[in-house]
Amino acid sequence: MKSDKLALFGGPKTIYKKFKKYNSIGIEEQRAVNRVIKNGVLSKYLARWGDDFFGGPMVKKLEEDWKNKFKVKHAITVNSWTSGLICAVGAIGIEPGDEVIVPPWTMSASAMAILHWNAIPVFADIDPITFCIDPISIEKNISPYTKAIMVVDIGGQSADMEAIIKIAKKYNLKIICDTAQSPGAKYYERFAGTMADIGGYSLNYHKHIHTGEGGVLVTNNDILANKMRLIRNHAESVVGDMKFDDLTNMIGHNFRLGEIESAIGIEQLKKLDSLILSRQLVAKELYKGLENLNGLILPKVRENCTHVYYMFFMSLDLNQLRGAKRENIFKALKEEGLEGLSLSYTNIHLLPIFQKKQAYGKKGFPWNSEFTKRDINYKKGICPVSESFEDKNYLGFQMCMFEMDKKEIDLMISAFQKVWKNLHFLN
């Protein structure tokens, strides 16, 4: 039934009911969970050397299926992607005071995983077209103390890995790919996340496929794989029995994924291709309906790559909007009933932890430690592209939230078109 609430420009809302929420869980996952509960093995990990160090049958099958799907040598499950990032940074041998380059346009866990090992995040700006980390800014931020680059494949597509790998080889740096939002995206013929020393994906509830919480690390390096398995499962308890000689960062954790989550993940992985295709078809219709709106810049997909549309990243060319203010455009679209819009993606270098340089205790550790080689600037202005998006230009649509049919897509396009016809009222 239509709402009688009037929209900003008069008349009924363009979108008069809520969009259907995205839900990739079905009967297959329910049956898989029931099988696990019936056999009674909810976890089979032990923190001692032996077959159970690697988890139970569902964990092992999900890892096997994942490595086959993504064409990698090793896939390692963890109980969250934050845990995965901590494993990855620890595995590459980061020392206290080492610097790791990371973009600010991401979730805080990307940088927190660096701080976890008492290393120093250094923020490089993002590409204004793709929103991924900018290779030019990466190179500008390299110092003698840089040890790694954490790439973030944000929003649904890969960063420019060819350029980034070239930089990493030039300066002898490791690469970690945080591909939380882009599982199944392609960079030329390879999957995003698989070209780095370590990559990985999130399985938390609003991703393309999920297990509630969880993550999967990928690598083709045997040593890195073993290090991540150790960090995942109480490393210090088993390194001796495993005859693993490198004790660097072998303070382990309980980052283990359970059998129920793994059973769900096995079924979810089977659906990944079809779920990606459904997003791509929605995006195709949005491009067609929105491409002629002056001043609205739509997501760009890198040539020879694919986009899986976790987000539909848009931006505004303020010079073409006839004086309309972004906040008023946002308000008008919401008045027309459009859900899932955002104006901010949080520049994490501006969070209090970096502005105050206070992480462990009250004395500024690790920035003021004996291991820290130089003072790092986190003041506003160091990442002008990313900051401008948040302050003035960004307008995002959270495709991860909805399962849109043709009618809903058309309603969304109509809401945009109506607002654009009335831009002169929004200054």
pLDDT tens-digit profile of 361-403?
999 999 998 999 899 999 999 999 999 999 999 999 999 999 9
Whole-angstrom Cα Rg for the chain: 23
In a domain, 80, yes or no: yes
Residue that the structure tokens 């839900």 belong to = 23
In terms of Cβ atoms closer than 10 Å to its own Cβ (0-12, 13-18, 19+), residue 31 is exposed
On whether residue 338 sits in a domain, the answer given is no
- CA proximity to 261, closest of 217, 228, 206, 214: 214
pLDDT at 352: 97
Q: What is the pLDDT of residues 159-217, one digit of tens each?
A: 999 999 999 999 999 999 999 999 999 999 999 999 999 999 999 999 999 999 999 99
- Domain membership of residue 325 (yes or no) is no
191, 168 Cβ separation under 8 angstroms: no
The tally of domains found in the chain comes to 1
* Pair 298, 314: CB distance under 8 Å: yes
Q: Kindly state whether residue 225 falls inside one of the protein's structural domains.
A: yes
Question: Has residue 4 got a pLDDT over 80?
Answer: no
- Whole-number Cα distances in Å, 31 to 24, 28, 50, 206, 230: 14, 5, 30, 21, 32
Question: Per-residue confidence at 338, pLDDT binned at 50, 70, 90?
Answer: very high
User: What pLDDT is stored for residue 2 in this prediction?
Assistant: 42
The answer to whether the predicted template modeling score (pTM) of the entire model surpasses 0.85 is: yes
Q: Is residue 414 part of a domain?
A: no
Q: Has residue 328 been placed in a domain?
A: no
Q: Of 285, 299, 282, nearest to 403 (Cα)?
A: 282
| Angle, CA of 210, 214 and 216, to the nearest 5° | 95
Distance CA 291, CA 282 (A): 14
pLDDT at residue 11, rounded to an integer: 82
C-alpha span between 87 and 81 (Å, rounded): 10
In a domain, 19, yes or no: no
Domain membership flag for residue 140: yes
State the pLDDT at residue 6: 67
- Only one residue has tokens 């370590």, namely 198
Task: Give the CATH number, domain containing residue 176.
Answer: 3.40.640.10
Domain residues for 186? 27-268
